[in-house]
Amino acid sequence: MIARPLLLALSLCMATAPCGAQAPLPDLGDISSATLSEQQEKTIGNRIMREVRVDKDYIDDPEIFDYINSLGQRLLAAADGPRQSIDFFVVRDDTINAFAMVGGHIGVHTGLILLTQSESELAGVVAHEIGHVLQKHQARFIAGQSRASWTSLAALALALIASRSNSSQGAQVTEAAVASAGALQMQTAIDYTREHEREADRVGLTLLERAGFDPRGMASFFDRMLKANRLNEFKGAPSYLRTHPLTTERIADIQDRIEHGRETILSMRVSETTEYRLVRARIRAMSGSPTEAIKYFRAQLEDKTILRPREEVYGLALSLQRNREFDAAWSTLEPLLKGPNVHPAFLNLAGHIKSDMRRDDEALEIYRTALNAHPGYRALVYGYNEELQQAGRTRESLADLEDRTRGNPDDARLYELQARAMEATGRRVAQHRAQAEAYYRRGNLAAAVDQLEIATKQVRGSDFYDMSIAESRLRELRILLENERAAEKALKIS
Ligand SMILES: [Zn+2]
């Protein structure tokens, strides 16, 4: 569902191609007028991400989120030139799609991740999207639409997203808007983007190879997608093919490039991660109904009595936990917890299952040991603190969170956990202050200011120290909010 903001914004831009002709065309000779400034890009990107992050299909799961970001950063680190900041996220959606948005935000659908058969294939798609961002295709496309049309269209797109999430009628409006973009406009857009596709492929292939992935993954995945589409194996055309025109010619181009670098490929060591397979299993376990997921993994594991792939055992244990069959989940997971170097994902699931069973002491023990071995694993940090709070050890959790926010001052989830603990101890000012910090880190300044306003209006249960921090923070964030609103207003997207 989230892919819609971009798709919609794009479709609407395409839909206006005829009206764009009446507006003054940008001077193509002058590059500066054909691109958005970095600040403008950031403003538009933040505005869209504010909607995306609260969408129910935006995946906030720390293990999935951290995986896609580490994959993206590994590819990005292989790029030339000044380091550009790009963030990555996963959207719960069965359709095959990946997309880049203005301001450096790249989203990947769960459906696409499940369709890949190796990490190099997934890396190929992500690298291609990074190529679009590094080449500023989105920004150039938007800027090329003439300011008058794209700013009001961005505003309309956002209004539609808002109405969609509030009512089922909104969904129909959006669908209609996307459909009305029409084939003709699509065609003109395709001519425009074919060049960009080639550029993104070229940049993507370089990143893939430098980052230690198999560049053939890009060609094989695109080829499989194209064939499956021709044989109508997809329900309707996958969104990816609509936004990224894919032709046999393009695939041949990619294969050509790979052929040229054949010797390097034959001598290179492809390094794929365990996390790729675990995250895929995790996504599979979360998809469909819990019983469907259990059935899927049981079928995968059938006949595999000796060599049971760890990710499939993990997937089955996760699906069983999701179905609240905690004993069965535990006995499935147990073999993965033996031996040296147990993966933190298994330890995290172990902690969660014990926590679900209300075996609080055992759960805490698992988390403590696991955190000693993997102090930076976010899922364990959150699981540990949730468990402490469930066991009524709120003060211990607060002390731990205090410590951790000092080390990771940008982690929104830590502040959310802090807010929950503060609420349990009746510290209302501190609760709303922590909630404000969480919103601020999630890019929602207006909600952060709201929380601080609530905090500063508290009469009971407030101490002087908490209150004075809340007041000065409120002044600070109000100024940031005013600046943001002014910037959005200038772009007509507020
Ligand atoms: Zn593309």
How does pLDDT run across 360-379, given as a tens digit for each residue? 999 999 999 999 999 999 99
Digit-coded pLDDT (tens) for 475-492: 999 999 999 999 988 876
Rounded to the nearest whole angstrom, what is the distance from the C-alpha of residue 42 to the centroid of ligand 1? 21
pLDDT at 11: 34
Q: Are 199 and 131 in contact (CB under 8 A)?
A: yes
pTM for this one? 0.84
Distance of CA 387 to the CA centre of its chain: 26
- Output the six-digit token pair for 286: 């979360």
For residues 457 and 360, what is the distance between their CA atoms, to the nearest angstrom? 37
How far is it, in rounded angstroms, from Cα 482 to Cα 466? 24
**306 compared with 348, residue with greater pLDDT:** 348
Instruction: Give the three-class secondary structure for 102.
Output: coil
For residue 117, report the phi and psi dihedrals to the nearest 5 degrees. -115, -5
Identify the sign of the CA torsion 110, 112, 118, 124: negative
3-class state of residue 100 by DSSP:
strand
CA 419/CA 431 separation, integer angstroms: 4
Distance 130 CA to ligand 1 centre (A): 9
Of 409 and 99, more confident:
409
- For ion ligand 1, residues whose CB falls within 5 Å: 197, 200, 244
pLDDT at 162: 45
Q: Output the CA 368–ligand 1 centroid distance in Å.
A: 44
- Quote the ligand 1 centre to 302 CA distance (angstroms): 39
Ranking 44-48, 131-135, 149-153, 387-391 by mean pLDDT, the lowest is: 149-153
At 409-434, the pLDDT tens digits run 999 999 999 999 999 999 999 999 99
Say how many Å lie between the CA of residue 81 and the centre of ligand 1.
Answer: 21
**CA distance linking residue 318 with residue 442, whole number of Å:** 28
For 428, the 3-state DSSP assignment is helix
If you measure from the C-alpha of residue 198 to the centroid of ligand 1, how many angstroms do you get, rounded to a whole number?
8
Distance 125 CA to ligand 1 centre (A): 9
Distance (Å) from CA 260 to ligand 1 centroid: 22
Rounded Cα distance, 101 and 85, in Å:
13
**C-beta of residue 387 within 8 angstroms of C-beta of residue 364:** yes
Q: From the CA of 416, how far away is ligand 1's center (Å)?
A: 36
Between the CA of 150 and the centroid of ligand 1 the distance, in Å, is 21
Using the structure block, give the residue that is written with the tokens 């998809």: 287
What are the angstrom distances between the C-alpha of 124 and each of 88, 216, 280, 337? 14, 8, 16, 33
DSSP string, 175-231: HHHHHTTHHHHHHHHHHHHHHHHHHHHHHHHHHHHHTT--THHHHHHHHHHHHHHHT
Q: Given this model, what pLDDT does residue 143 score?
A: 61
**Backbone region of residue 266 per phi and psi (left: phi > 0; alpha: psi in -120 to 50; beta: other values):** alpha
The Å distance, Cα 114 to ligand 1 centre, comes to 19
Q: How far apart are CA 15 and CA 201, in angstroms?
A: 26
pLDDT in tens, 10-38: 333 333 323 233 333 333 333 334 567 88
CA 194 – ligand 1 centroid, Å:
8
CA 484–ligand 1 middle distance (angstroms):
30
Q: N- to C-terminal Cα distance for the chain?
A: 22
Q: Are 149 and 13 in contact (CB under 8 A)?
A: yes
Rounded to the nearest angstrom, the distance between the alpha carbon of 131 and the centre of ligand 1 is 8
Asked if 448 and 440 touch (Cβ cutoff 8 Å), the reply is yes
Q: What is the DSSP letter of 106?
A: E
Region 201-221: mean pLDDT is 92
Q: How far is the CA of 200 from the centre of ligand 1 (A)?
A: 6
Q: What is the pLDDT of residue 238?
A: 62
161 Cα: distance to centroid of ligand 1 (angstroms): 23
Instruction: Using the mean position of ligand 1's atoms as its centre, give its distance from the Cα of residue 241 in Å.
Output: 9
Residue 358 alpha carbon to ligand 1 centre in Å: 48
CA of 396 to the centre of ligand 1 (A): 49
Calculate what percentage of the chain has a pLDDT beyond 70.
77
Burial class of residue 136, CB neighbours in 10 A (0-12, 13-18, 19+): buried
pLDDT grade, residue 307 (50/70/90)?
confident
